[in-house]
Amino acid sequence: MSKTSWIVGINAVASALEHDLAHVRELLLESGAKNPRLAAIESEARDCGIPVRRVSTQSLEGIAGGARHQGVAARYEAAKLLDEKDLKGLVEGAAGRTLVLVLDGVQDPHNLGACLRSAAAAGVTCVVIPKDKAVGVTATVRKTSAGAADRIPLVQVTNLARALRELKDLGVWLYGFAGSASDSFYTLDLRGNVGLVLGGEGDGLRRLTAETCDQLVRIPMPGDMESLNVSVAAGVALFEAVRQRGAA
């Protein structure tokens, strides 16, 4: 069963209209707004038969839940999130070139959205996130991801350690990222079935998650910083995998 939610912001709504029109159910525009980009979005929506309503600023702010709406919101029938039972099919479908991004407890919706955007650009097999102690796929996540949240397989699991063991049983080698690790990420061979496991803000990987990984690695940082933002680290890791795999 699909879940109805809201996408807010000019770029996010425009992306939904361009890439996933079939799931856009309604467009809301701020009364009195004169932005030409909003006019173009309205015209496209009407041409495609999507209902358009003018609403108050307060109504949009309530829908946006703190996200910057820029005068527009779209009611969106999001694709159902996948779960543990879908991992086998995803890995088998990747035919030996599985690339999974696992995010252990990311709390900031902007970070999750940025991670999903990088994951989509890197062509991941799927992104795995836990249901508990982590942000869900909110309007802010969808806006920050620029539509990626609904264009890549997103697997939400009740027990992350169990899901990691399932991936290992399917032949996926799991690399966990930890600042205390001795091995450099750049020594790895990332051309086969690989899972990149990153922790959330603050504490990084939880103990059980780290223990379940096959190997812990670090991103070398010669500068005077202890860690990278999780979305930056995800981008670094994913595109090193893309480089090694020889993607055009």
What is the pLDDT at residue 246? Answer: 87
Q: Are residues 72 and 126 in the same domain?
A: no
Q: Are residues 125 and 232 in the same domain?
A: yes
Q: How confident is the model over 7-45, as pLDDT tens digits?
A: 888 988 887 888 778 888 999 999 988 899 999 999 999
Task: Round to whole Å and give the CA distance between 12 and 142.
Answer: 7
What is the pLDDT at residue 226? Answer: 66
CA atoms within 13 A on the CB side of 100: 34
What is the pLDDT at residue 247? Answer: 64
Q: Are residues 72 and 91 in the same domain?
A: no
Q: Are residues 178 and 91 in the same domain?
A: yes
What is the pLDDT at residue 23? Answer: 82
Task: Please tell me the pTM assigned to this model.
Answer: 0.78
Q: Are residues 154 and 38 in the same domain?
A: no
Q: Is the predicted pLDDT of residue 208 greater than 60, yes or no?
A: yes
CATH code where residue 171 lies:
3.40.1280.10
Mention every residue, 6+ apart, whose C-beta is less than 8 A from residue 123. Answer: 99, 242, 247
Q: Are 73 and 8 in contact (CB under 8 A)?
A: yes
207-211: average pLDDT: 95
What is the pLDDT at residue 55? Answer: 95
CATH code where residue 65 lies:
3.30.1330.30
Please tell me the total count of domains within the chain: 2
CA atoms within 13 A on the CB side of 203: 11
Radius of gyration, CA atoms only, the chain: 19
Q: Are residues 62 and 120 in the same domain?
A: no
Q: Are residues 232 and 192 in the same domain?
A: yes
**Which of 72, 78, 16 lies closest to 48 in space, CA to CA?**
16
What is the pLDDT at residue 206? Answer: 93
What is the pLDDT at residue 147? Answer: 74
Q: Is the predicted pLDDT of residue 87 greater than 90, yes or no?
A: yes
Residue 3: band (very low, low, confident or very high) from pLDDT cuts 50, 70, 90 = low
**Which of 94, 99, 134 lies closest to 120 in space, CA to CA?**
99
Last residue of a domain, which of 78, 95, 111?
78
Question: What is 127-187 written as a DSSP string?
Answer: EEEESSSS--S-HHHHHHTTTGGGTS-EEEES-HHHHHHHHHHTTPEEEEE-TT-SEEGGG
Q: Are residues 35 and 66 in the same domain?
A: yes
Q: Is the predicted pLDDT of residue 248 greater than 60, yes or no?
A: no
What is the pLDDT at residue 6? Answer: 85
SS3 content of the chain, % helix, strand, coil (to 5): 40, 25, 35
Task: Round to whole Å and give the CA distance between 116 and 171.
Answer: 23
* Domain residue limits at 30: 3-78
Q: Are residues 157 and 210 in the same domain?
A: yes
Q: Are 175 and 213 in contact (CB under 8 A)?
A: yes
Q: Are residues 66 and 88 in the same domain?
A: no
Sign of the alpha-carbon torsion through 49, 18, 127, 64? negative
Q: Are residues 67 and 103 in the same domain?
A: no
What is the pLDDT at residue 1? Answer: 44
80-108: average pLDDT: 94
Q: Is the predicted pLDDT of residue 172 greater than 60, yes or no?
A: yes
| Type of residue at 107 | Q
Q: How confident is the model over 211-238, as pLDDT tens digits?
A: 999 999 999 987 766 678 899 999 999 9
